[in-house]
Amino acid sequence: MEIIKAIILGIIQGLTEFLPVSSSGHLELGKAILGDTSVGEESLVFTVVLHFATALSTVVIFRKDIIELLRGLFQFKWNEETQFVFKIGISMVPAVLIGLFFEEELEQLFGGNILLVGFMLLITGLLLFLADRAKDSTKGVSTPNAIIIGLSQAIAMLPGISRSGATISTSVLLGVDKTKAARFSFLMVVPLIFGKIAKDVLSGDLSFESDQIIPLSAGFIAAFISGLFACSWMISLVKKSKLSYFAYYCFIVGIIAIAYTLVKN
């Protein structure tokens, strides 16, 4: 892979992993524009590296929260931190089940299906539009809410459905405080990403040549730095109820993707 393509796709992954516009959908669009269909399909290593970079940027941004959660968890009491970790755990169940039992079917949707991406971006835009108009609340994430948010995360495994957009929007529509919704959304994905990376590593399917080290490193750095920026920015935008901007963006890109596919065919 060319270094410039690795950097571009790394930036796309870093920004769109946190901004509610679908990282998977934009990577598919990016591959189509760059004319590189190997990324995310033939190069599993590159995909793993990019996801590791964005997961690491989440850990850096929420390092204080993670340390507090771990301290509370290791007190072996049913305290606030333990309850929060439990809610994250049950929110992961739907996505884990889909990943285990429908992985092959899901991967078939990531073959440059721009039409699907376009329609899913429209759905993402609608969710963001509705969430931006939800009433303010001070409630936290309850256990039933965590299950519903987990279901939205599982649905967001489709290319074009934003994971952060779906989970934050679902949380807000359920009456959860916007800041708490963003915190839960970003923290709940960290175990999933690291779990997926561990699964891929242990499967023995990862392999790369020495000439891939520089492109992989460039993609990692680009995704990590852009991820730090996007994560911090997204938290601020959610607090200020600015999700509608991204809703309009998703509508525009979705319509363009659908029109492009129809004209091309």
Kindly report the three-state secondary structure assignment for every residue of 84-96: HHHHHHHHHHHHH
| Mean of pLDDT values over 111-130 | 87
| Radius of gyration of the chain measured on its C-alpha atoms | 18
Structural domain including 18 reads: 3-264
Q: Encode 171-210 in three state secondary structure.
A: HHHCCECHHHHHHHHHHHHHHHHHHHHHHHHHHCCCCCCH
Band (pLDDT 50/70/90 cuts) for residue 134 is: confident
**pLDDT digits over 61-77, tens only?**
999 999 999 999 888 88
Handedness of CA 81, 83, 89, 92 (dihedral sign): negative
Three-state secondary structure call for residue 124: helix
Asked whether the beta carbons of 265 and 119 are under 8 A apart, the reply is no
The pLDDT, as a whole number, for residue 40 is 44
The pLDDT, as a whole number, for residue 218 is 92
Indicate the number of domains in the chain: 1
Among 29-38, 192-201, 235-244, the least confident range: 29-38
**Whether the predicted pLDDT of 37 surpasses 60:** no
Band (pLDDT 50/70/90 cuts) for residue 107 is: confident
**Whether the predicted pLDDT of 38 surpasses 70:** no
Name the residue with tokens 């991204």.
246
Asked whether the beta carbons of 259 and 115 are under 8 A apart, the reply is no
Q: What residues contact residue 76 under an 8 Å CB cut-off, 6+ apart?
A: none
For residue 193, how far is the Cα from the chain centroid? 9
**pLDDT digits over 76-100, tens only?**
888 999 999 999 999 999 988 988 8
User: For residue 141, which of 89, 88, 66 has the smallest C-alpha distance?
Assistant: 88
Amino acid identity of residue 59, one-letter, is V
Three-state secondary structure call for residue 39: strand
Neighbouring-strand partners of residue 169: none
Phi then psi dihedrals of residue 207, to 5 deg: -155, 145
